[in-house]
Amino acid sequence: MKRSTLLYCSLFAGIVLGVGACKKSFLNVNPEGQVFESNYYQTPDEAFSGLVAAYNPLAWTVVSSYAPKMVLLTLASDEAYAGGGSSSDNPGFQAWNTYTLNSGTPNVPPDLWQRNFTGIFRVNTMLSKINGVPGLTTDLQTRYTAEMYFLRAYYYFDLVREFGNVPLITKVLPQSDFYNQVQAKPADVYAQIEKDLNAAIPGLPATVNIATEGGRVTKGAAQALLGKVIIYENNNGRMQDAANALEQVNTSPNYHLLPNYADIFNPGNKFNAESIFEIVHTNQSGKTWSNWPNFDGNVGSDGRATFL
Amino acid sequence: MRKRTLAGKLLLLVLLFLGNSTLMNARSQTNAWLTSYSQASANVARQYQDQGGQARSISSILAEARKIFDVDFIYESKVMPSARVIIDVDKYKSVEDFLDELLRPYNLKYKKVLSKAYVIYSNNPELKRLIASLLKQDGMSADVATTSSSDAKAILVTGKISDEKGPLEGVSVVVKGTSKGTVTDKEGRFKLEVNDANAVLVFSLVGYQTKEEVVGNRSDIALTLVSQSQGLNDVIVVGYGTQKKSVVTGAISSVKASDLDDQPVYRLEDALQGRTTGVSIAANSGQPGSTEQVRVRGITTINGNDPLYVVDGVVLDGGGLDYLNPADIESIEVLKDAASQAIYGARASTGVILVTTKKGKAGTMRVSYDGFYGSQGPARKLHLLDAEQYATLRNESSLAGGKGVIFANPQSLGKGTDWQSQIFDNNASIMSHQLSISGGTDKSTFYTSLGYFDQNGIVADPISWYKRITARFNGAHKVTPWLNFGENIGYSYIRNQGLGNTNSEFGGPLSSAINLDPTTPVVITDPTILNDPNSIYNTKPVVRDAQGRPYAISNYVGQEETNPLAYIKTQQGNSYNWSHNFISDAYMSILPVKGLELKTNIGTKLAFWGTNSFTPIYYLNGSQGNVITNYYRDAENLFIWDWENTASYNRHFGLHNVTALIGQSAWENNHAQINGNFQYMPVTSLSQATPNYSLPNADKVANGKDDVAHTLSSEFARVVYSYDERYLLEGQIRRDGSSRFGSNNKYGYFPGGSIGWVVTRENFFPTSKALSFLKIRGSYGVTGNDNIGDFAYVSTVSGGRNYTLGNNYEVGNSPNAPPNPDLKWEQTTQVDAGLDAVVLSNISVTLDLYNKKTTGMLLDQQLPLYVGSSANPPGNIGNMSNKGIELELGYNKKVGQVNLGLHANGSLMQNRVTSLGITPFQTGAHIQSVQYELTRNQPGYSWNSFYGFKSEGIFQTQADVANYVNKAGQMIQPKAKPGDYKWADLNGDGKISDSDRTIIGNSIPTYTFGFTATAAWKGFDILIFGQGAGGNKLYQGLRRLDIQTANYSTAALRRWTGAGTSNNYPRLVDGDPNNNFIYPSAFYLESGAYFRIKNLQIGYTLPQSLLRKATLNKVRVYVSGYNLITFTHYTGYDPEIGGINNQNNVGIDRGFYPQARSFQAGLSVGF
């Protein structure tokens, strides 16, 4: 009996130890259809989808509620009044109209803030991933990187004009830095915008295939934005820099004024020679009011969700 | 050291022996008296053959051991404790091992004095005396010998000992002052010779009060022993083991099968309600088969609060517990303190419930049948307006709203339709049948049972029913003395149908019956409507009754509130849920050396369940209809396996007792689901529907789901030490690795420790009847909750972030929330201090105080928007605290021929959300058109507290409205009219806005209590079980506010109708311009306190004398009333409201399916 007892006990101990040995992988379970960031950006297609996501906030017109940038900017101009059913209709719009925006104004300021910082996060994410995408050609890598720099400049240009002092974030924040960002001076933000645009220009194509890539960033778009940014910096000593940048666009064979002014407004005439950078809206997304607030396109031109 | 000196002395004595020529004589003499002593015990030993595994007196065990080991034992009978113990003599390899185990707890020593004789003694003088008496050839002192044939005047006494339930076996009967004694047999009978009529007999049995009787001139003594209340020798189940209750240092509530004896317990949770402290149970619905909400020591977290269930050592996830037939349950233990819970580590913080199923006992095969049949009905109905009252109030409300009269002549309408009586069934049946067989040999035992349970609902019973078949086979086998094997296998098949919404304002028979106007008839009989070709009854697929009459559709109340009978008809026979559950475990244990047990246990839960339903074409009202038939079939499966390996070691060293345990386990849970919808099937009912119909693919839609597997890999250890059962010490630790924890915190450590001091075992403590037992104990531990979701710690990528490029709508993907690799379990630490005492010999007291703190409750981090992520990652952020006091009292006494028993318990608890990080509050439940959330989790307040406006009464006159002004002198409620609420301007800003809301009530009970009172007289027994809870508010949200034509409760008759008429029920006005009703306020809050006579039972057990003729063991018949009376001020159906599916529903009554009141008759028969 003693011998067999020992035998069984060793067998038993063996089993127990065996279980212990395989436990590391035992805790790593199948994600069942969830895609992890850590496993993503592994193919050229995945990199492209990341690029698309970085463009996506450009088209946002609804964030928590209506916050279409063009409508708001127009309301602050002489071209339009907020209108609506009464002075309490869409108070965010009314406040833009009457220059009474403050921290209590509903939705509009945080919405604009969120739209641009969302874009910046997606740009920073792409920039952190783009160098390690297997199979992505050097050309595409260069072009994507340049587009990201452009988009970051574009989003920061909006932020610095809308808010003045904003946190300047040029990489994906680690957990430890979520709560300790400080506001940068506008001059620093502008410096970063120029830096990004200058970094973008060499890597961008002069033209794109309008049918498949219309709306993607071109060299001309970056040069034009750089010129505009310098002008907004309002530094008389640098106006020549702005002129130099804009000159490149003016002298480019890819851009000229359309002979017929009305053609600019013809829906069939998208991405024409007069258009340097377009934010593209679509009615193909199939989104309806039930998708609120995620229209992905323009709530004003989505076909189904008409507004204004 | 002490031992060695003793051994030296002994050696001397043995030498003395050896030098004595009468040695052989002495030995044979010893054998002779031992044999004579053993005569009394001989039948005990014989009984052992049938009854192995049962507690026996030590002397009877020695008698058996004497045969097995072929040795003699010599002792003074008076030193033998009267304790009865369970010990399996066969399993000991040597007589020393056996004696070690048997005698140590009683501080008895033994010495081998001859090759085949052992002296058992408690002190040295005794040892000397014994040896000296052995040396005397002609016998021993009176203390040692048990029979003395020299006493000519001996009287033979016989008798029968029983308790309130029947004959008592194994009662020790000893002649006081001597060692003469015997033990009662199976029928409670004994036979003993005493010297004279003055002899006093002492009757004792563990668990009963010892009794002394003078023999006198009686030759036949009939006695009833009264059981002791304290139950200190009860063995209770703890994680990975058992402990004697008297040495337990944790806070553990225990419910035994005997506490539930023949009481109607439909579900496992029923057994705990009102019978345990610190455990709050609330029915989630009165629908048959509905789960009940179980909360151990309050609300532990803002996330899932269901306790961990461990059935026969197998860890099962909560839910689906109804596969367990309550009649198969031997005991339920609730581990409440963190030290006891810590052995279950990362899943224990919400409490651990250990369920042990019944096992077989060696001996005669026992067959028993238990069953009951009953009739159920609603305990109460709501008081709603009749047609005339309804029409009057509707007219008033419409006029006040500036519109015309709706009902020209309310008086003509009479009573109208009582919709409640249409849906309630006053005679819904309930029945249960259970047949069990158990038995076995000393090598192998089994328990097997078959059960059937069938319950119809009291609301809409054609679509509210539940049937369950259960089967169980539990076996244990002793392959060799050192190898054991066993299995516990349970199976259940359940089929049920639910009426859908059991606590919802959105339709279903209950909500409809409450809200439908009483002016609408049940069916349309008016020929002008029936014959009108344009009426909906002729143009729409309306539902008709058995006689072909269309069920009426209300002209006033619509939306989800439909004719309940029409609704029932569309569901009847068209939907059911089914489930198969196999829960089994098999174990093997090896005892390689004394005290060491190696055990491996594999448990599985294999469950299959699903739904079959058919939606016919119907028209219930303008918004509720179905135009496409749909056949839906869902199939789900769940597989849990749990492999536990343990090594435990138990040794006594003198008065020191050490038990050590180490173990390791692996656990996995998988769930998958697939379902399909088949549309346009050319059938009209479920019985005809089948996926075999050939349908175009477009009409077949499939969905499914694979849950992420949940795995745990764990190691654990525990050491229990006690000295003389006086000083108690216990420590445990578990390490859990979970698939759900972040990569930086893959493993968590959960330690716990407890101490106890049995003061009454101290020598200095005076022996007194006033306080015969006192144990003080304390514990501290850390536990976790890994119910934090799968892969919550990683950053996932999602699509939908699309953009148009050229003519193409391109798909964009990006990360959602940033990863949180630090994500870990929610951690709960708990301090518990308690005491167990027995006072005045028959009152047992258990008192516990605890303070429980949960930290790191999972909550979405509020990231600054500049981080730019599309979602917020969960973090370990929130804190919660729970404090409480629990008191349990037990009392047993025999007054004359009546045995009385009372067990009462009460718990007080206080819950606080202490922090939600930077999140100021979380919003909770909403109810249809009430403008704001009803509840909030807000730091400083109880979890899920009611939140709303405060009224300062009702404006009685226009002057009151005008006088209610702010500091600037402006009217605060300029639009209010007399009869409207005067809302309190809590923030003092001079107007009423959403910031004038505040915490207005507590939704969770702050106290629970229960008691069981029993009385038995001869064969009759009566039991009253009551239970209650309170300290909370209930939100009485039964009336639909968005349907202003909905019916009212009769409370509306006390509404404001003019100055001085009411200061709490505002005027009725269409549109509710002052938000009197659509603001959440104390108007809807009612006290949730209740006390309920849960069970009143009267039974009769047939006397044994009758049964023996029919070879029956037990026959008991009983009648009982369940949920008999509820005392409460609450105006809804039932104040006991759990949270269905969503714990934020706690305390909110949207039309709660009430629990049934039932009357039932039952029968128990044992062979």
Q: What's the pLDDT tens digit per position in A61-92?
A: 888 888 888 888 888 888 888 877 777 778 88
Q: Is the Cβ pair A27, B711 closer than 8 Å?
A: yes
> Exposed, middle or buried, A19 (CB in 10 Å: 0-12/13-18/19+)?
middle
Question: B21 falls in which pLDDT band (50, 70, 90)?
Answer: very low
Spatial CB neighbours of B1007, under 8 Å, sequence gap ≥ 6: B906, B907, B908, B909, B1029, B1030, B1031
Using CB atoms, pick whichever of A55, A117, A178 lies closest to residue B803: A55
Query: In B, which residues are within 8 Å of A180 by CB distance?
Result: none
Element holding A98 (H helix, E strand): helix A91-98
Is A74 part of the contact surface with chain B (CB cutoff 8 Å)? no
- Tens of pLDDT, residues B285-298: 899 988 888 999 99
pLDDT at position B227 is: 61
Q: Which residues of chain A have pLDDT under 50?
A: 1, 21, 301-308
pLDDT at position B1138 is: 82
Question: B75 falls in which pLDDT band (50, 70, 90)?
Answer: confident
Query: In A, which residues are within 8 Å of B482 by CB distance?
Result: 1, 5
Kindly report which listed range (B73-82, B214-223, B970-979) carries the lowest average pLDDT score: B73-82
Residue-averaged pLDDT of chain B? 86
**% of chain B residues with pLDDT over 70:** 91
Name the A residues in 265-284 with CB < 8 Å from any B CB: 271, 280-282, 284
Query: In B, which residues are within 8 Å of A160 by CB distance?
Result: none
Q: Is the Cβ pair A181, B861 closer than 8 Å?
A: no
CB B891 within 8 A of CB B1013: no
Using CB atoms, pick whichever of B799, B809, B866 lies closest to residue A167: B866
Q: What residue has token string 């919808």?
A: B677
Using CB atoms, pick whichever of A30, A49, A284 lies closest to residue B709: A30
Decide which of B730 and B68 is more confident.
B730
Element holding A193 (H helix, E strand): helix A186-200
Does the pLDDT of residue B61 top 90, yes or no? no
Distance set, CA B851 to CA A234, B539, B779 (Å): 64, 66, 11
Using CB atoms, pick whichever of B600, B668, B708 lies closest to residue A12: B600
Is A290 part of the contact surface with chain B (CB cutoff 8 Å)? no
Taking the CA of residue B699 and the nearest CA in chain A, the distance in Å comes to 22
Q: Is the Cβ pair B809, A31 closer than 8 Å?
A: no
Closest-approach residue (CA) in chain A for B707? A32
CB B88 within 8 A of CB B52: yes
> Exposed, middle or buried, B594 (CB in 10 Å: 0-12/13-18/19+)?
middle
Kindly report which listed range (A63-77, A278-292, B827-841, B904-918) carries the lowest average pLDDT score: A278-292
Query: In B, which residues are within 8 Å of A166 by CB distance?
Result: 866
The mean per-residue pLDDT over the stretch B132-157 comes to 50
The mean per-residue pLDDT over the stretch B455-465 comes to 94
pLDDT at position B934 is: 93
The mean per-residue pLDDT over the stretch B539-561 comes to 93
Query: In A, which residues are within 8 Å of B707 by CB distance?
Result: 32
pLDDT at position B18 is: 38
Q: Is the Cβ pair A52, B790 closer than 8 Å?
A: no
Does the pLDDT of residue B14 top 60, yes or no? no
Question: B24 falls in which pLDDT band (50, 70, 90)?
Answer: very low
- Tens of pLDDT, residues B420-457: 999 999 999 999 999 999 998 888 999 999 999 999 99
Does the pLDDT of residue B109 top 60, yes or no? yes
- Tens of pLDDT, residues B991-1007: 898 899 999 999 999 99
Question: B8 falls in which pLDDT band (50, 70, 90)?
Answer: very low
Q: Is the Cβ pair B664, A48 closer than 8 Å?
A: no
Name the A residues in 152-181 with CB < 8 Å from any B CB: 166-167, 169, 172-173, 175, 178-179, 181
Q: Is the Cβ pair A284, B804 closer than 8 Å?
A: yes
pLDDT at position B813 is: 94
Name the A residues in 38-67 with CB < 8 Å from any B CB: 38, 40, 46, 48-56, 58-59
Count how many pairs of residues, chain A against chain B, have C-beta atoms within 8 Å: 193
Q: Is the Cβ pair B664, A121 closer than 8 Å?
A: no
Does the pLDDT of residue B274 top 50, yes or no? yes
Query: Residue B363 and residue B169: Cα distance in Å, rounded?
Result: 14
pLDDT at position B15 is: 39
The mean per-residue pLDDT over the stretch B506-517 comes to 91
Torsion of CA A26, A28, A33, A37, to 10 degrees: -170
Does the pLDDT of residue B134 top 70, yes or no? no
Closest-approach residue (CA) in chain B for A16? B645
Question: B49 falls in which pLDDT band (50, 70, 90)?
Answer: very low
Strands (E), B1055-1113: 1085-1087, 1090-1101
Using CB atoms, pick whichever of B480, B666, B810 lies closest to residue A52: B810
Using CB atoms, pick whichever of B710, B797, B869 lies closest to residue A35: B797
Question: B463 falls in which pLDDT band (50, 70, 90)?
Answer: very high
pLDDT at position B95 is: 83
Backbone torsions φ then ψ of B17, nearest 5 degrees:
-55, -55
For B163-189, letters b (16+ CB in 10 Å) and e give: bbbbbbbbbbbbbeebbbbbbbbeebe
Question: B951 falls in which pLDDT band (50, 70, 90)?
Answer: very high
Query: In A, which residues are within 8 Å of B709 by CB distance?
Result: 29-30
Does the pLDDT of residue B872 top 80, yes or no? yes
Taking the CA of residue A245 and the nearest CA in chain B, the distance in Å comes to 26
Spatial CB neighbours of A286, under 8 Å, sequence gap ≥ 6: none
Using CB atoms, pick whichever of B600, B790, B807 lies closest to residue A15: B600
Q: Is the Cβ pair A215, B598 closer than 8 Å?
A: no
Taking the CA of residue A122 and the nearest CA in chain B, the distance in Å comes to 7
Is A147 part of the contact surface with chain B (CB cutoff 8 Å)? no
The pTM for the full model equals: 0.82
Query: Residue B305 and residue B318: Cα distance in Å, rounded?
Result: 10
pLDDT at position B1070 is: 92
pLDDT at position B319 is: 60
Query: In A, which residues are within 8 Å of B598 by CB distance?
Result: 9, 12
User: Of B791, B742, B794, which Cα lies nearest the Cα of A37?
Assistant: B794
Decide which of B67 and B493 is more confident.
B493
Query: Residue A58 and residue A119: Cα distance in Å, rounded?
Result: 8
Q: Is the Cβ pair A280, B804 closer than 8 Å?
A: yes
Name the A residues in 112-131 with CB < 8 Å from any B CB: 113-114, 117-122, 124-125
Decide which of B1024 and B180 is more confident.
B1024
